Chain A
């Protein structure tokens, strides 16, 4: 079987447009294959600052600082990175900072790397325990309205939110078989 990634998905472009509509100025990320297109948009856009991180928890603090300074941000990561964020999420929760996390799921649907499964299977539960509102999305048709809903609740709440972009939506990574 070949790589199941669909050719040129357009949902990352829809997400980028929504983030721009909400005047998101800082897009922080730890790379994931599922976010490659959205990261590319962030890096090449003049009106957005792309902030590569070494670990996802930096992004929780970074975007809190951005909000202190009057800028909105979004944080892109894969589901394994959620585990790195847990204590830092106390910053968003205690201070009621707006937070929009866009999480591409691994270890969930057709995963061929068993090491991804433990974190992928608890990602949503862990976020809920940490006080983050979760928005799972399984279908390409639902991406736009889900990101819109999460962004509204993040910035107009303020609230900590996470959109979980399903592995079914992104396509499971193939390891050559």
Chain B
């Protein structure tokens, strides 16, 4: 494990997430437990963002069900390396379905941010993009600086998937910006925004 290197990664998670969501249009967004959900809230609370406060390891699987139900909409996952590792076998189930509208971004700071910044396996030799490629993702990448991020951003938002990009972001403690925490409310407002007020 290397617990020093991520402190110097140039990309900052809040700026990455703000860029991902800047022109979101009708994109559907599922964010993973912890810092990824706070990052999305910092970029602006939105009814078509479903921020998970729990269910660790379930973000990718949840987005898969959503992507299959809404094949005409772009579905973007924004999650962390801890959640992605816990639900890593769900990546294999994604490739069986092969949804072209699903794009997964892992904000990889090599830390469990919510529990005290302990290192995850990606602080060692574990490579999330390589794991995704190994279970059958055709499009994967690891993004390490602003130039690489700017180059790949249009593909993350629009190119045919499924795809997974691990974005190496600085390990840093940031101020909490919290989305609503009532899960039933989050679900109902998402469905109302997507399917109409009667869906609720």
Contact = CB atoms under 8 A, between A and B. Distances in A.
A174 B155 CA distance: 52
A44 interface: no
Interface in B44-73: 50, 52-59, 61-70
B133 interface: no
Contacts of B190: 68
A160 B19 CA distance: 37
A46 interface: no
**B interface: dominant SS:** helix
Contact of A87 (B56, B92, B97): B56
A63 interface: yes
A64 B69 contact: no
B74 to A, nearest CB: 12
A55 B59 CA distance: 14
A145 interface: no
B157 interface: no
A126 B27 CA distance: 37
Given A26-B69, A71-B68, A95-B186, A61 B62 contact: yes
B56 A65 contact: no
Interface residues of A, number: 32
Given A95-B186, A96-B187, A70 B65 contact: no
A36 to B, nearest CB: 18
A70 B194 CA distance: 9
A55 B89 contact: yes
Question: Chain A CB within 10 Å — which of B50, B52, B65, B195 has the most?
Answer: B65
Interface in A69-124: 69-71, 73, 87-88, 90-91, 94-97
Contacts of A2: none
Interface string A51-67: 11111011111111111
A58 B61 contact: yes
A49 interface: yes
Given A58-B87, A58-B93, A87-B55, A66 B68 contact: yes
Given A25-B69, A70-B70, A87-B56, A53 B93 contact: yes
Contact of A61 (B58, B92, B96, B187): B58
Given A90-B54, A95-B186, A65 B69 contact: yes
Contacts of A64: 58, 62, 65, 187
Nearest to A60: B58
B144 interface: no
B65 A95 contact: no
Given A58-B93, A96-B183, A88 B199 contact: no
Contacts of A95: 183-184, 186-187
A10 to B, nearest CB: 29
Given A26-B65, A73-B65, A94-B184, 12 more contacts: A51-B68, A51-B96, A53-B90, A61-B55, A64-B62, A65-B69, A68-B65, A68-B66, A68-B69, A70-B69, A87-B56, A96-B187
Interface of B: 28, 30, 50, 52-59, 61-70, 87, 89-90, 92-93, 96-97, 183-184, 186-187, 190-191, 194-195, 199
Interface of A: 25-26, 49, 51-55, 57-71, 73, 87-88, 90-91, 94-97
12 contacts: A26-B65, A54-B93, A61-B59, A63-B65, A65-B63, A65-B64, A67-B187, A68-B191, A69-B67, A87-B56, A91-B183, A94-B54
